[in-house]
A and B are shown apart, each in its own frame.
Chain A
Amino acid sequence: MMKMIWKTAAMAGLAAGLLATSALAADKTLNMIVIEGGDTTAMQAVADSYEAAHPGIKIKLQSYPFAQFFQVAELRLRSKDKGIDLVYVDAPLVASYASRGFLSKIDQGIDTSTLVQASVDAGKYDGTQYALPINNSAQVLFYNKALFKAAGITPPDGLTAGQSASQKQVDELASSKRWTWEQIADAARKLTVKDNGRTTQYGFSVEQFAELYQLQPFGESLGTDVIAPDGVTAEGYLDSPAWTKAATYWSNLYNEWGVSPKGLGYGEAAQLFTTGKLAMFVGGTWNLPILSATSVDYGVAPYPYFAGGKVLTPTGSWYVGVNAASADQQDAFDFAKYLTTSDEGTRVWFKALNQLPVYKPLLDEISTSPAFDTFPQDVFRLGVYDSLNTAKARPVTAAYGQLQDAFRTAFTDISNGVPVADALKSAVQKFEAAAKRVAQ
């Protein structure tokens, strides 16, 4: 009995082993870890075009689900796994990975002058380049035109179906017609419909609930960074008057005014929006294909700011780095270079994923090419304006995970009714205690 089982297991194992080795037929294989879904599809397209131009090299993608990607990457990088050559890195993790020696220093021979400088800088740690930006992100305000009309309110100036906009017109819109958070609150209260004590239509929501990426401009546009430049101090920053005002606004959205739904998961804001249960949300341009596939009649306006404050918008996205344990550094760098700084590589990536580029020639093309005149392609022109004028990168700190977690906890608690001062104080204390342990 036992023998038979082991035989079966061994045979099955052999079959799987054969499958795995057959991919080694090409001369050299580079393994890259990447997020499952659209990112993998786009990376495969870039890999295909690279392989066509570089015979003898094969790029093999190992894709992991978004929710587990960071954990698996952490485990495998920490074990100095040679089975990874290239790493897909989220912008704020560059410092954490670099500080622990997971990433190789970027080859001096790679010319980054064609990339948006702020994005290049976000790939540095302690003044050294460890990762190259693949694309950028842009956040905008989506609004449901029908719901505004039904409530009898004028929607914000924005880009919408059936119209076209030149880069100049978009610049004008973004620089002088941007709504304030105060205007959002006014409109949201009128757009919220309650029936018998229960909310049947919400006025406003953010896409990434309580996340630092989404909310960093809230307090920073009022004048105070979320943490000190040393990367470990939050006292006097996250609990400053500016952040207290921003967090109070956030609290009002959920408690005082009740215009936002509590605790939405990823993707649920878009779901509510397309079913007409949500009138406005701020979210990424990646929602465009999802919304355009439905019948909802919507418009896109610039990311709001506080009246009297500075206009700041979320930015930063995915980077590529080379695993320090990789046995094939040179080829890995060559693919990273192709992916981020070549005409062809960046173009294939943009076409497949539709994310705002960091490659300047592509940004110029978005500004000038007639292909981007009409909606929703013209929304990328809004992204171009923001990335050149208002984008504010996330803080560079080896304790980014700690910051993100303390921030999320505080803003979730605030939305659930915990007093603003208590929540911010507790976040400061938690972040500083945890950050000190890894970066004294």
Chain B
Amino acid sequence: MKRGAALGLRHLAYIAIAFVFVLPLWWAIVSSLRPNSEVFADLFPFTPKALIPVPFSLEAYSGILDQGFGLIIANTLLVAVVTVIAGIVVNGAAGFAFALFDFKGKGLVLAFVIVSFMLPFEAIALPLYSVTLQLGWVDNIAALIVPSVANGLAVFLFYQFFRQVPSDYLEAAQIDGATWFDILWRIYVPLSIPTCISAGLLLFVFQWEAFLWPLLAMPSQQFKVIQVGMAAFQQQYQTFWNQLFAVAVVTALIPIVLLLPLQRYYVQGLSSAGIKG
């Protein structure tokens, strides 16, 4: 009896929290399933009818397909995935070196790494654009990827992780005469999978939300990414609300679908953080 009540209570708590997360997206889903002229129909003032897609229409989804949103999503995935893979390698290696090796001026270099993620993008946009012009990368996909690979936050994340790996592992390997590359690849990389996923998420979300930079760096707009494509729905004289929400729904689901299979690396060997029992 008591157990049943506790179980019910637990589900109630989870449902309440999930409700807060879901409600805005639910409303976006409903709006994306209405014709554009009906998006606001039951909203001002609010009636519960605003939460059901009536009148129902798939015009928004066929509309975004017609506008080539499939390609736009593929473009963004390409940029994001290349950034994530290159970024994990580059920033992971740097975090490893910072954590394990001592050298003169290390504190200062680390401080610069940390400063590098405290800079508002708006402040560096103009000089960064000039650098890109000099490199001849304007309208080249390299301009979207290369500047985003090295990421101070990701270096810091790896540094924080590698620092707390017990040194016993390292000493044992050194006694066995392993090379540094072996030590990194065989011992530290397998331990760092959850951190790699976190860093990957960080880099992925950065590209998934990138907006001002793709606008600047790709002026011919022949290679569009999601945020740039979405901005087109809010025009000077009118907004295509239902299509805007349709893209919002689709783009919200993709990161979740990508994260879910990775969950097993997170939840294995995890004893509920000691809360249970």
Cα–Cα, bound, A230→B65 (Å): 52
Chain A residues positioned under 8 Å from B211 (CB to CB): 68
CB distance from A77 to the nearest CB of B (A): 11
CB pairs A–B below 8 angstroms (10 shown): A2-B89, A9-B141, A12-B78, A35-B236, A38-B237, A72-B216, A75-B126, A75-B216, A200-B45, A274-B37
- B86 CB to closest chain A CB (Å) equals 5
Partner of A16, one of B39, B82, B130, B140: B140
A65–B39 touching, CB < 8 Å: no
- Please tell me if the beta carbons of A277 and B141 are within 8 angstroms of each other in the complex: no
One of A2, A13, A71, A83 near B140 (C-beta < 8 A): A13
Chain B residues with CB under 8 Å of chain A are 37-41, 44-45, 78, 82, 85-86, 89, 125-126, 129-130, 133, 137-142, 145-146, 211-212, 215-216, 219-223, 228, 231-232, 234-239, 241
Task: Indicate whether A261 sits within 8 Å of B142 (C-beta atoms), given known contacts A5-B89, A68-B212.
Answer: no
By a CB distance below 8 angstroms, the chain A residues around B41 are 275
Q: How far is the CB of A200 from chain B (nearest CB, A)?
A: 5
Give every chain B residue within 8 A of A17 (Cβ-Cβ).
139-140
- Among the interface residues B130, B139, B219, B232, which one has the most CB atoms of the partner chain A within 10 A? B219
Task: Answer whether A290 and B238 are a contact pair too, CB < 8 Å, given A16-B222, A200-B45.
Answer: yes
How many of chain A's residues touch chain B, expressed as a range?
A: 35 or more
Interchain CB contact under 8 A, B216 and A10:
no
> How many Å from the CB of B74 to the closest CB on chain A?
12
A224 shortest CB reach to chain B, Å: 30
> What is the minimal beta-carbon distance from B240 to any residue of chain A, in angstroms?
9
Q: Is the CB of A9 within 8 A of B126?
A: no
- Would B232 and A36 count as touching, CB distance under 8 A? yes
Contacts A20-B139, A79-B129, A275-B41 hold; do A266 and B239 have CB atoms under 8 A apart?
Answer: yes
CA distance A17 to B222 in the complex (A): 10
CB distance from B184 to the nearest CB of A (A): 13
Q: Contacts of B39 on A, CB cut-off 8 Å?
A: 271
Which A residue's beta carbon lies closest to that of B228? A65
Separation of A294 and B37 alpha carbons in the complex (Å): 8
Q: Is the CB of A39 within 8 A of B236?
A: yes
Is A267 within 8 A of B238, CB to CB? Answer: yes
A62/B141 contact (C-beta < 8 A), A72-B216, A75-B126, A267-B238 known: no
Q: Which residue from B37, B89, B141, B232 sits with its C-beta under 8 Å from A12?
A: B141
- Chain B nearest CB from A282 CB (Å) reads 15
The answer to whether A66 and B234 touch across the interface, beta carbons within 8 angstroms, is yes
Chain A residues contacting B37 (CB-CB under 8 Å) are 271, 274-275, 294
In addition to A12-B82, A17-B140, 14 A-B residue pairs with Cβ atoms within 8 Å of each other are A9-B142, A12-B141, A35-B236, A36-B235, A38-B236, A65-B234, A65-B235, A72-B212, A75-B126, A200-B45, A266-B236, A267-B237, A268-B40, A290-B237
B219 A266 Cβ-Cβ under 8 A: no
B263 to chain A, nearest CB (A): 24
Distance of A286 Cα from B236 Cα, bound (Å): 10
A388 within 8 A of B: no
